[in-house]
Structure 1
Amino acid sequence: MLKDFLHDRLPLIVLIYFSTLITILIAVLLISFSGGEQSFSTYVYMLLLASLFLCAGLLIDYVRHRSFLKQLYAIDPHSTSLDEIRKLTHRQAPTQTTKRMLDVIRTVDVHTHDQIIQYETDRKQHETFINQWVHHMKTPMSVISLLSQEGKKQAGDDHVQTFFNDIQDENDRFRHGLELMLQLARLDHFSLDFRAEPVELTQLLREVINEEKRQFIRRNLYPQIVEDTDQTTVYSDSKWLRTVIKQLIINAINYSHHGDGNKITCTIKQERESVSLFIQDSGIGIPTHDLPRVFEPFFTGDNGRKKTESTGMGLYLARTIANQLGHSLTIDSELERGTTVRLTFTSKTL
């Protein structure tokens, strides 16, 4: 603190000593020209006197600043809360320049605080609107599903059956979009809606596959669950983990080659201290240059140009939730050969 104080006043110190030396030099020249006797002790006295006044001035200045500087240097810029900085801005400033600076900081702080409050209010209103809208849409979505099922039962014509199948297919896409939107809106409150518990992976996979069985049937795809270990129970949050797995299954369905009887294989393996779930398809794959960015929000890549309904948010949601759960989510893919997503659970997660 003292070192910085003196460093800030170094130009003043240099200027005072320089002016003192100039004064002594002028005195020496004047005495020489007048033929007077030079007194070395007088020059030393002048230098000491200048130093004394300089030290006195610096001491008075330091005492004025000491209390303010002490509180300023007590603040850690990397871990300090805004409250400590606000306390500093309300202290009595030692100089008019410092007072002006603190006034500017206070004004900016008040303006920023008001903006944050407004942002939080707008965000909560938007979140409330999204939640209400999604829940309101679930009712007509369920009605459409029931009506299309009844229509299929009563329709004898294959063309009419296909028509109702298309309605159900689009309704399922609508449902997936609503679920994705709702889960994204809930991410901010993840810690409030989290419960760690043992989760049986095989059972959870069966439930997710059963929910999407119509999609498998419509696209002539076959789900397969392979257990390469007896350890199929992991520690996680069942609801959030279901969201991750469901999103990965939906992606595998959407990007598989339809109508060829291809498989989507879910394999559970034990690897040292971890259990891994591999979800593998034999679909269109992901270009190598797109792989590093597939978990970025709104990134659709080359495949997004082929499938215009892609949002680029599915894998982002899955990776974000997996990270919050303490799990690892990675992806490997080869163009036109398929994609393998790996979800890893370790004993150290959660």
Structure 2
Amino acid sequence: MSDAQDARGARLPWRRADEDDLASGPDRFGPGAYLVDRAATLGILAFCLLGTACMLLPLGVSVQGTLLVVGFIALCAGTALTLDYRRRARFYREAADLVRELRSAGHFPALIAEPPFLEGRIAYQVAGGIAQLANAETGDAQASAQNYREYVELWIHETKTPIAAAKLMLASMHGAQAAKLSRELERIESQVEQALYYARSTSLSNDYAIREVCLAAAVREACKKNARFLIERSVAPDIDIPEARRVLADEPWLVFILGQVVVNAAKYGASTIAFTARVEEEGTPHERTVLEVRDDGRGIPAADVPRVFERGFTGANGRDQGSATGMGLYLVALMCERMGLGVGLASEEGTGTRVLLSFPHDRRRAMTPPPPVRR
């Protein structure tokens, strides 16, 4: 088996585009950078010192006296530049550290003090204006996304009515054409359901409820909902899960997740799908139930395994099918993340595929990233 691909590991960590610029290379707020930035000022100062010396010597001031005057002026200028550098560097370094950790531009002005020098105050005021603009744009984007989501959900619910009517009409029809039409109608219904769950999973609100769920019952329900497809593909589910085994999850979401896994296995050549459950890390804070869904299908090419949870990725098998959308396993990973579940996948061409779902036992840890499941 190739190494299991954890859905959480498949996502790139949060990172800002300019973080590399702030964190790499020479210290852009160091003394050297400051002196380079003040090159014109230093040039004028050097010219001033040289001019002072040239004027004092013809006036009869001794060399020692000239050096004393020039040194005093240089000392005062150096002290002024040092104090100016320190207060500027403190502000800019604090701002850079804050940008690396910040999650929202709107929080920047509230988390940093207004600097005491003019350029810093101007930058601070500009940052405040940008933060207000970012907050307004974020609010508009959230409102637009919410309106779009509500429209999609309304459209999906409206679409279910003609689907149900078509099913009633098909009930009185018989023959090969009726069977084909029924299969196509089920495909439409499956895609509509997938769109509904995607809309819900991307909502800012928690459109689910984490409760204790009978794992075996959820597996049976997922197989039942896809029974016609399994029968057509001659796939036999083998459920070996104790009835007493209960996990923390949202039942409709869990049934949908299992349904996506079952359909994928049947679609790609499996003749059997085995469901088993085990407890790992028993007696520790990381104690969890791991559900393993194993099939004997064609497997996934090794090059495709690291990307199976990416949105829209179909891989070699999906391209061969021609009808794959690349959304099934993406939704599985997304919904597991929303519920605080772990998900992983291991596969080998010609042998089959294993999908692993881990359910934390501690409800307080249900919404935190669980440790990777055991391979």
TM class, shorter-chain normalised? 0.7 to 0.9
1:78-111 Cα offsets, whole Å, 9 max, x none, are 237545545799979954x667756765665565
| Distance apart, 1:326 and its partner CA | 2.3
Residue aligned with 2:152, SS: helix
Q: Does the CA-based 8 Å contact 1:265-1:281 persist in structure 2?
A: yes
Whether 2:336 is the aligned partner of 1:322: answer yes
What are the residue-to-residue correspondences of 1:225-264 with 2, within 5 Å?
Answer: 225-227=239-241, 232-256=245-269, 262-264=271-273
Report the AA paired with residue 196 of structure 1.
Answer: I
| Distance apart, 1:223 and its partner CA | 1.8
| Distance apart, 1:289 and its partner CA | 1.4
1:284-327 Cα offsets, whole Å, 9 max, x none, are 32222111111110000111222122110000100111122222
| Distance apart, 1:125 and its partner CA | 2.6
Unaligned residue ranges in structure 2 (runs of 5+): 1-28, 283-287, 367-375
What are the residue-to-residue correspondences of 1:26-45 with 2, within 5 Å?
Answer: 26-27=54-55, 30=58, 38=62, 40-45=64-69
**1:99–1:17 distance in 2 versus 1, CA, 3 Å:** closer
Q: 1:198 aligns with which of 212, 217, 222?
A: 212
Q: Does the CA-based 8 Å contact 2:91-2:115 persist in structure 1?
A: no
Residue aligned with 2:303, SS: helix
**1:69–1:87 distance in 2 versus 1, CA, 3 Å:** farther
Normalized against structure 2, the TM-score is what?
A: 0.72
Q: 2:169 aligns with which of 142, 147, 155?
A: 147
Q: Does the CA-based 8 Å contact 1:20-1:47 persist in structure 2?
A: no
Distance in 2 (CA, whole Å) between partners of 1:304 and 1:6 is 54
Distance in 2 (CA, whole Å) between partners of 1:271 and 1:14 is 67
Normalized against structure 1, the TM-score is what?
A: 0.76
In structure 2, the partner of 1:312 is: 326
**1:269–1:101 distance in 2 versus 1, CA, 3 Å:** closer
Residue aligned with 2:102, SS: coil
Residue aligned with 2:237, SS: strand
In percent, how many aligned pairs have the same letter? Answer: 24
What are the residue-to-residue correspondences of 1:72-221 with 2, within 5 Å?
Answer: 76-77=98-99, 78-79=101-102, 82-83=105-106, 85-86=108-109, 95=118, 112-113=134-135, 115-152=137-174, 160=175, 162-189=176-203, 192-221=206-235
Residue aligned with 1:298, SS: coil
**1:216–1:10 distance in 2 versus 1, CA, 3 Å:** closer
| Distance apart, 1:202 and its partner CA | 0.8
Quick one: higher RCO (CA 8 Å, sep 6+), 1 or 2?
2
Unaligned residue ranges in structure 1 (runs of 5+): 153-159
What are the residue-to-residue correspondences of 1:59-78 with 2, within 5 Å?
Answer: 76-77=98-99, 78=101
Tell me the C-alpha RMSD between the 2 structures: 3.9
**1:126–1:94 distance in 2 versus 1, CA, 3 Å:** same
Q: Does the CA-based 8 Å contact 2:239-2:276 persist in structure 1?
A: yes
**1:85–1:267 distance in 2 versus 1, CA, 3 Å:** closer
The structure where helix makes up a greater share of residues is 1
Q: When the two structures are aligned, how many residues end up with a matched partner?
A: 326
